[in-house]
Amino acid sequence: MRRNVLPGLRLSLGVTLLYVGLIVVLPLAALVFKAASLGPEDYWRIVSSSRALASYRVTVLCALGATLFNLFFGLGLAWVLTRYRFPGWRLVDAMVDLPFALPTAVAGIALTALFTTNGWFGSVLADLGIKVAYTPLGIMIAMCFTSLPFIVRTVQPVLEDLDPALEEAAQSLGGSDWTIFRTIILPLLTPAILAGLSLSFARSLGEFGAIIFIAGNQPMSTEITALLVFIRLEEYDYQAAAAISSVLLFTAFLMLALTNWMQSRALRYTVRN
**What backbone torsions phi and psi does residue 172 show, to the nearest 5 degrees?**
-65, -20
CA distance 54 to 224: 8
Query: Stretches 20-28, 39-47, 50-58, 128-136: which one binds another protein (CB under 8 A)?
Result: 20-28
d(CA 125, CA 110): 17
Span of 16-24, 41-49, 50-58, 129-137 interacting with another protein by CB under 8 A: 16-24
User: Binding to another protein (CB under 8 A): which residues in 121-150?
Assistant: 121, 141, 144-145, 148
Q: Cβ of residue 83: shortest distance to another protein, in angstroms?
A: 6
* Least distance to another protein, CB of residue 220, Å: 19
Q: Which stretch binds another protein (CB under 8 A): 48-56, 128-136, 162-170, 215-223?
A: 162-170
Q: Smallest distance, Å, CB 121 to another protein?
A: 7
Closer residue to another protein in complex, CB, 130/256: 256
Separation between Cα atoms, residue 125 and residue 131, nearest integer Å: 7
Instruction: Kindly state the smallest distance separating residue 56's Cβ from another protein, in Å.
Output: 13
Q: Which of 254, 255, 253, 266 is nearest to 154 (CA)?
A: 266
Residue among 68 and 80 whose Cβ is closer to another protein: 80
- Assign 1 to helix, strand or coil: coil
* Residue 209 within binding range of another protein, rule CB under 8 A: yes
d(C-alpha 60, C-alpha 64), whole Å: 6
How many residues lie near another protein (CB under 8 A)? 106
Report the residue number, 136 or 232, with the smaller CB distance to another protein. 232
What end-to-end distance do the CA atoms of the chain give, in Å?
A: 23
DSSP state of 135: S
Helix, strand, or coil (residue 96): coil
20 belongs to the binding site for another protein (CB under 8 A) = yes
Nearest distance from residue 40's CB to another protein, in Å? 19
Q: Are 35 and 246 in contact (CB under 8 A)?
A: yes
- Minimum distance of another protein from residue 7's CB (angstroms): 4
Q: Which is nearer to another protein, 135 or 198 (CB)?
A: 198
Contact region for another protein (CB under 8 A) — 39-47, 48-56, 77-85, 129-137? 77-85
CB of 230 to another protein, least distance (A): 6
- Of 28 and 60, the one with the shorter C-beta distance to another protein is 28
User: Is residue 44 close enough to count as binding another protein by CB under 8 A?
Assistant: no
Separation of alpha carbons 213 and 209, rounded Å: 7
Q: DSSP for 2-31, please give it.
A: PPP----HHHHHHHHHHHIIIIIIHHHHHH
CB 154 within 8 A of CB 267: no
Is residue 39 involved in binding another protein (CB under 8 A)? no
Range in contact with another protein (rule: CB under 8 A) among 40-48, 50-58, 83-91, 125-133: 83-91
Question: 137: part of which helix (H) or strand (E)?
Answer: helix 136-161
